Each structure stands twice: as C-alpha cells, then as structure tokens.
Amino acid sequence: MAITKALADETRVRILLALRGGELCVCQITELFGFAPSTVSKHLSILFQARLVESRKEGRWIYYQLPGKSAPAAVREALNWIEKSQASDPQIVADNKQLTKILKLDPVELCKRQCQR
C-alpha cells in the first residue's frame, strides 16, 4: 500500500528517476523541482516510508539514494517498472538535463542560496 501511495504522485516518480544517477542532497532535489524545501521533504518522507529511497545524514545535509540490491522484491520491481515505463518521458528527459547543470554547482553554496530565499 505504501508503495502505491508513493508512486501515485508524479513528483515522487520524478524524484525516483532523478536518483537513478546516484545520491542527491535535499538541496539538489529542491533546486531541480523548484519547490519549497518543506514540500520536497514531505515527498521524500513518503518515498522513505515506502522504502523506495534510503537516506543518510552528513552534518546539516541529508542525502537520498535508491535502495540497494537488498531492498524488498516489491521495491525493486516498482523501481524497475518506473524505469522502463517513464524514463523516456519528455519531462524526465528535461529533468535529467537540468540535473546535469545542478550537479556542476557546489552543493554547499546551493544550500546556502536556498536558505536565503
């Protein structure tokens, strides 16, 4: 039930697909989608509860990534399905291009800039 709830929102699916390339800081995810940090945190919380993402804290920053091979079969199947069915969607392609630009920015500076908004 938690997996289907998590996948019912387009933004959460987009977050999962953005994480395909590896770990991202909350600041990077916030920058990608242009939402308030609280909105991004709510989406990440739902994904975390569904076990679709893992997190780690480093200082003030929290990083998210897709779960590893030890994830439950239902999680792995859901992530595979998303990859196959959504990866070529024009919005996902645009997200990937924007994420490439964001990853070139210093995450510390990015986070500071977001805190000043």
The CA-atom distances, in angstroms, between 101 and each of 66, 94, 96, 105 are: 21, 11, 9, 7
DSSP 21: G
Residue 3 pLDDT exceeds 90: yes
List the chain domain ranges: 2-116
Residue 112 pLDDT exceeds 90: no
Each residue of 80-92: pLDDT tens digit? 999 999 888 999 9
Each residue of 6-64: pLDDT tens digit? 999 999 999 999 999 999 999 999 999 999 989 999 999 999 999 999 999 988 889 99
For 2-116, CATH gives 1.10.10.10
Number of CB atoms found within 10 A of residue 14's CB: 21
Residue 116 pLDDT exceeds 70: no
Task: Give the per-residue pLDDT at 117.
Answer: 62
Task: Give the per-residue pLDDT at 106.
Answer: 87
Our CA angle for 66, 81, 16, nearest 5°, is 30
Q: Would you give the end-to-end CA distance of the chain in angstroms?
A: 36
